[in-house]
Structure 1
Amino acid sequence: MRTMMSDGESKPNTPNAPANGSHEPSIDTILRIPVNMQVVLGSATMPVANLMKLGRGQVVALDHRVGEPVDIVVNGRIIARGEVVVVDDDSSRFGVSLTEIVGPAGSER
């Protein structure tokens, strides 16, 4: 949808545009955007037939070994690697200790 201006030009309607005319969101707004973070212990590939046979108590072997770093993924992109730890103040919960930050295109920091 477009709005006609007094000089005959038209501009697009932006329903949530700030009143001060600025179209740039503030950094605070951006920093409050939630992201999904996952810690990936590993993965496995199997035919659907094998998947259908899985039952309670069966173990699926993953492609990562014990002691190998786990991938820390944010919105589908690996951003870091780390070690699985037990949370100090709640021994019933796991956490992850960052050991490596992965930069753009897989570079390490």
Structure 2
Amino acid sequence: MSVLEGIQLELSIVLGSTQIPIRQALKMSRGAMIPLDRDHDAPTQVFVNDECVAEGRILVKDDVMSLEITRIVRRDT
């Protein structure tokens, strides 16, 4: 077993964001559309432990959604 297998991390894939009133969120039903602050062709961001580490694009084939990494974000040292 690899020494890295037991390390926990938080991974987030961010398509975009928005702010809506709670009353609007409570009225939403299945299939509701939520407008985001990005175009559909804007890069999707990948965060590890709240730090952006990569960008990519969402791919959909049949019922499977995946993320293709297109750029690794370099940290300034």
Question: Normalised by the shorter chain, which TM-score bucket?
Answer: 0.7 to 0.9
Deviation at 1:74, TM superposition (A): 1.1
Indicate the larger mover: 54-63 or 73-82: 54-63
- Taking a change above 3 Å as real, the CA distance of residues 57 and 93 of structure 1, as seen in their structure-2 partners, is closer
Equivalent pairs counted in the alignment come to: 74
Amino acid at match of 1:99: T
Unaligned residue ranges in structure 1 (runs of 5+):
1-27
Unaligned residue ranges in structure 2 (runs of 5+):
none
Counterpart-to-counterpart distance in 2, 1:76 and 1:60? 23
* 4+ aligned runs moved over 6 Å, structure 1: none
Q: Normalized against structure 2, the TM-score is what?
A: 0.76
Aligned with residue 54 of structure 1, among 25, 28, 35: 28
Structure (1/2) with the larger helix percentage? 1
Q: Aligned to 2:20, what secondary structure does the other structure show?
A: coil
Q: Aligned to 2:57, what secondary structure does the other structure show?
A: strand
In the alignment, structure 1 residue 43 sits paired with structure 2 residue 4? no
The higher relative CO (CA closer than 8 Å, separation ≥ 6) is in 2
Deviation at 1:98, TM superposition (A): 1.1
Identity %: 28
Deviations 1:64-84 (A, max 9, x none): 211111001112211000011
Amino acid at match of 2:26: M
In the alignment, structure 1 residue 84 sits paired with structure 2 residue 62? no
Amino acid at match of 2:56: G
Amino acid at match of 2:25: L
